[in-house]
Chains A and B, each alone.
Chain A
Amino acid sequence: MLSKKIGFKLTFGVVMTVLFAIGIFAFFNIQSERKSLLSEVERHANQLSEALKSDTEYDMLHNDRERIHESIRRIGSQKSIDRIRVFNKAGEIIYSSDSAEIGKMVDKMAESCYRCHSAGKPLEQLATKERTRIFRPNPDSARLLGIINPIYNSKSCWTAACHAHTEEQTVLGVLDVTIPLTDVDRNIRLSRIAIVILGVSTVIILSLIVSFMVKSWIDRPVQELLTATRHVAGGNLTYRVEVKSEDEMGMLGRSFNNMTQNLAEARLQLFQSDKLASLGRLAAGVAHEINNPLTAVLTYGSYLLKRAQGQPDTRDDLQIIVSETIRCREIVKSLLDFARQTVPKKRKADINEIIGRAATVIENQLALGRVQLVMDLDPALPNVMVDANQIQQVFINLMVNASDAIGENTGTITIKTGAISLPSSEALQIKRALCPKRHDLVDRKVRIDGKPAISMRFRKKEQTGIIHLNPMYGSTDHRLGDMPSIEDGMELLCPDCSRSLIAEGERCPKCNSPIYSFEVPLKGLVQGCLQHGCGWHCWEQVDSTWNDQFVEIRVIDDGCGIPRAQIPKLFEPFATTKGQNGTGLGLAVTWGIIDNHNGTISVESEEGVGTTFIIRIPVTS
């Protein structure tokens, strides 16, 4: 299990590499240390042997054997010297610091002799290196370094009084000095131990550091991503990876968040297109659940009402129970009617004709209310792609509302159609705007012309504040407050996370000022210039495809009007202005239908003067 983890693998790999590197380093390091220590010992031994040779030369020439013995014994008894011996040419030990050896013969193949004698004929000249040997007298003793120093014949030798040597001899004997390598070996051992300790501690420390780094930089983010993936796979598209770093892992996390966000939005759109269907199922479920209790209430209520004919007070109370229960029944019914609306089946249609049909449907009701219906229809109105049934429902709803607003009075409903061309600043509302960290900049609490504005924070040195941009794309009617003019050094930030909204490295093609940029989910980047009087803006996905042809329909009544406070909530479900006479679904349905047609619906109303509903439907949608 552990071996499957990427953190373990990575740590293991790094540690093995370091172990290998330290191993190689240690090998060469010990090798060179051993070499330098040995050569030091070698040099020392050589010096010693040279010194000994010159020290005893005088005694040799005078054949003062006692003094030579004495010198060799004295020097050889030093702690750092194992043994000093002098052989004659025949291999007999003439002098030795170990007096027990004197007079013994040494085999030519013994370790101190074979260097010269191994080739059969004795060599006469040897380099220092070749005169040295390292050996163990027996397997469990310390190592020794021996150096032989040939004693060459010279004139003073064969002319000396003792006449011990003839002129023909080249080498008279050999001085052999052996030095114990105990210290050297101990040093080498110590440094070997030191290196092993260094290696082990390096490996431990390194593996701790690497595994810590792997854990915090790789393992944890990967785990986090893994958890997030599981969440998303399980359908939780609101799960967000916590991004703490700016490195590739952070980027991965951010793109993952973007991806799930987009996925969530796509799903939301899918869901919204399927919303009516799901609402239908919900309504059916509610209707089913509510029908039985409602049946009991309504049956008992109406039964008691029949029996209470003689008691006016009770009868009136029961009448309320029955009529309110019937109202519940109607609400359930209208929920089901709402649910029956399906995804629009769009065909090319003539709006004027649809209005005509809608008018026929409600003419009877209007006549009762003494309402006059005035048609001011543009005969040259272009056809639009709409679901005629749904659009007709919209007009019926609006005309019924208008007629209700007129009430018992006499009044006029005017329906006016016309073709208009609209810039995006009047027909395209930015409903979501995201900062780089995907905070929604659209602030529902601040509205410009009733539409939630896009908010940003500006900062220039000490000065800071919030500005609100008009959500209608292309509009320059922003609420900039006391923001100073845009120039380098001024920042535009997300109010939530203070991330910069200035497009880095890009400048307004009109006035060369820094520009802002935000993302509209699934629809690309919106950029714009806030320089006073500039108004440059760019939205690639819209700029190239914008069609400014719209059909506008105005439904105007001179009824009671709508209180100003109710206007913002007018199109929300269950917001009725008709008190007990409405279900509150009519305008919500209307809004939903128009939104489905990529159109807009707005309202202008003054209490006591009248109300105008304005619908705009794009000519190609």
Chain B
Amino acid sequence: MSMHRDILVVDDEPTVTQAVVKVCSAEGMTVTAAGHAAEALKYLDEGKFRLVLCDIMMHELDGFQFLEELARKGIHVPVIMMTGYSTVENAVKSLTATGAVDYISKPFTADELLTVLRRSLRIGALLDEAESAALPRNGSATYVSYPANYHRLGYVSWVLMEDEGTAKIGVSDLFLKAVDGIKEIELSAPGEDLVQGIPCAVATSLDGAKHEIMCPLGGRILEINEDAQAEPSLVEKDPYFRGWLYRILPSNAESNLQWLSL
């Protein structure tokens, strides 16, 4: 049996998979639900999916082992990890260590879920384009190469460590491309603390969807890029230089940076 479907959702909590199936089907997406990682791997062997939505905390094979299995089997599919707030560190790890494209915090609303799914579907498509353009694709290669010395959190955000011990934070170009047109960017105020893996900014796209930008590095906000806030297109045009979002004083740079890729 050969399947060609949009989404495979994996969670050992049936209420969660049923809810995802319901929401996505209503939006015209084809969804298959799997109650555990082994079942999901079986489906992936049998058919093709555009995207996998997988819980991290599962019995037997957990989300990490699932990603490892995918890599071992050479299955290329973008994966979104699901996690609670309590395991944000795990989610951060999953983006870097095992190449998930994004993650979503439970509990989520239908819109939040759809926003992340659509964005990731686009990222998947963009990555496929890149592949067909014969760019190398492995665990750490990206669609567009980052400037040197930039640490990145998956395909979402980046950090540049500065000489004074401060760090600049911004959004990755692939994320922006997938969002396609930012109407507005909401930033936190200076003095506030950012935590790695927790949203630090919200970008509203032209279609009204709110995209949370995960913070790549924890610390206290020293300065925000008011130009970017005033003119969100600046972020899209020059995401790595003039389009930065925050300058922060990292609270625990060393341990945070180990989860980011260069």
Contacts and interface: CB of A to CB of B under 8 A. Distances in A.
B92 to A, nearest CB: 15
B85 A296 contact: no
Contacts of B111: 302, 306
B207 to A, nearest CB: 14
B15 A303 contact: no
A333 B85 contact: yes
B191 A288 contact: no
A138 interface: no
Contact of A299 (B84, B86, B109, B193): B109
B20 A299 contact: yes
* Chain A, interface residues (CB within 8 Å), range: 35 or more
Interface stretch (A21-29, A167-175, A322-330, A533-541): A322-330
A284 interface: yes
A284 B19 CA distance: 23
Interface string A283-310: 1110110011111111111110111000
A148 interface: no
Interface string B208-225: 000000000000000000
Given A284-B86, A287-B84, A292 B106 contact: yes
Interface in A319-339: 322, 325-326, 328-329, 332-333, 336
Nearest to A339: B86
B161 interface: no
B106 A295 contact: yes
B227 interface: no
A364 to B, nearest CB: 6
B85 A336 contact: yes
A302 B86 contact: no
Nearest to B14: A296
Find the residue from B86, B87, B108 having the highest chain A CB count within 10 A. Answer: B86
A399 to B, nearest CB: 12
A302 B106 contact: no
Interface string B1-38: 00000000000010110111011001000000000000
B139 interface: no
Nearest to A389: B193
A18 B26 CA distance: 99
A384 B109 CA distance: 46
A288 B15 CA distance: 15
Given A287-B86, A291-B106, A336-B85, A299 B189 contact: no
Of the candidates B26, B84, B108, the one having the most CB atoms from chain A within 10 angstroms of its own CB is: B84
Contacts of A230: none
B22 A288 contact: no
A360 B108 contact: no
A296 B15 contact: yes
A217 to B, nearest CB: 57
Contacts of B110: 299, 302-303, 305-306
B192 interface: yes
Interface residues of B, number: 27
Contact of A287 (B23, B85, B109): B85
A295 B191 contact: no
A338 to B, nearest CB: 12
A296 B16 contact: yes
A299 B191 contact: no
Contacts of B108: 295, 298-299
A298 B107 contact: yes
Contact of B23 (A303, A340, A357, A361): A303
B27 to A, nearest CB: 9
Interface in B17-62: 18-20, 22-23, 26, 57
B136 interface: no
Nearest to A293: B15
Contacts of A392: 191
B113 interface: yes
A305 B110 CA distance: 9
Interface in A122-173: none
A111 to B, nearest CB: 108
Given A295-B16, A303-B22, A360-B190, A322 B85 contact: no
A357 B16 CA distance: 42
Contacts of A328: 107
A94 interface: no
A172 B20 CA distance: 145
Contacts of B193: 389
Contacts of B189: 360-364
A292 B87 contact: no
Contacts of A555: none
Contacts of A433: none
A364 B193 CA distance: 16
A294 B107 CA distance: 6
A175 B164 CA distance: 138
A206 B108 CA distance: 82
A302 B109 contact: yes
Interface string B175-192: 000000000000001111
Given A296-B19, A305-B110, 20 more contacts: A288-B57, A288-B87, A291-B86, A291-B106, A294-B106, A296-B16, A298-B107, A299-B19, A299-B20, A299-B107, A299-B110, A300-B22, A302-B109, A303-B19, A303-B26, A306-B26, A336-B85, A361-B191, A361-B192, A392-B191
The 8 closest A-B pairs by CB, nearest first: A361-B191, A302-B109, A299-B19, A296-B15, A294-B107, A284-B86, A291-B84, A295-B107
Interface of A: 283-285, 287-288, 291-303, 305-307, 322, 325-326, 328-329, 332-333, 336, 340, 357-358, 360-364, 389, 392
25 contacts: A284-B86, A287-B86, A288-B84, A288-B87, A291-B106, A291-B107, A295-B13, A295-B107, A296-B13, A296-B18, A298-B109, A299-B23, A299-B109, A299-B110, A299-B113, A300-B22, A301-B109, A303-B26, A303-B110, A322-B109, A325-B107, A326-B109, A358-B191, A361-B190, A363-B189
